[in-house]
Amino acid sequence: QVQLVESGGGLVQPGGSLRLSCAASGFTLDSYSIAWFRQAPGKQREGVSCISSSVGEIHYTDSVKGRFTISTDMAKNTVHLQMNSLKPEDTAVYYCAAGRFSYYCSNYIFDAYDYWGQGTQVTVSS
């Protein structure tokens, strides 16, 4: 069964940290572009960070640069998103996605991604 499963979300105080994980099964991530998206209540889904081995790109949206780090563990077929210095505006449901395409992942084109996780809630609040 092909799927992505996120974990690691939760409630954290401003300034705190969380590490999200996205485990793939049924396929291997090494030939895919992988992205993290998020959707806050009442807002559109937005791209947060992505990594593409096909074009050698790692990208972060401006609002998370210097605070978030995307990484891969291909031995475990897993992608992580380390989130530090969290702010209330980071509150959202976070989704990982995987797609096979040869252009820059920083375009964050939803339809380019073949597989999506179910999402994990991140709440930043005191």
| Secondary structure of residue 62 in the 3-state scheme | helix
Task: Give pLDDT, residue 25.
Answer: 94
Task: Give pLDDT, residue 26.
Answer: 93
Task: Give pLDDT, residue 38.
Answer: 98
- DSSP strand pairing (120-124 vs 10-12): parallel
Q: How far apart are CA 79 and CA 4, in angstroms?
A: 10
pLDDT averaged per 10 residues, the chain (length 126): 94 98 93 95 96 89 98 95 98 97 89 95 98
Task: Give pLDDT, residue 117.
Answer: 96
Task: Give pLDDT, residue 123.
Answer: 98
Residues 6+ apart with CB under 8 A from 27: 2, 98, 115
Residues 6+ apart with CB under 8 A from 84: 17, 67, 68, 69
- Tell me the C-alpha to C-alpha distance, in Å, between residue 38 and each of 5, 9, 28, 74: 15, 12, 23, 23
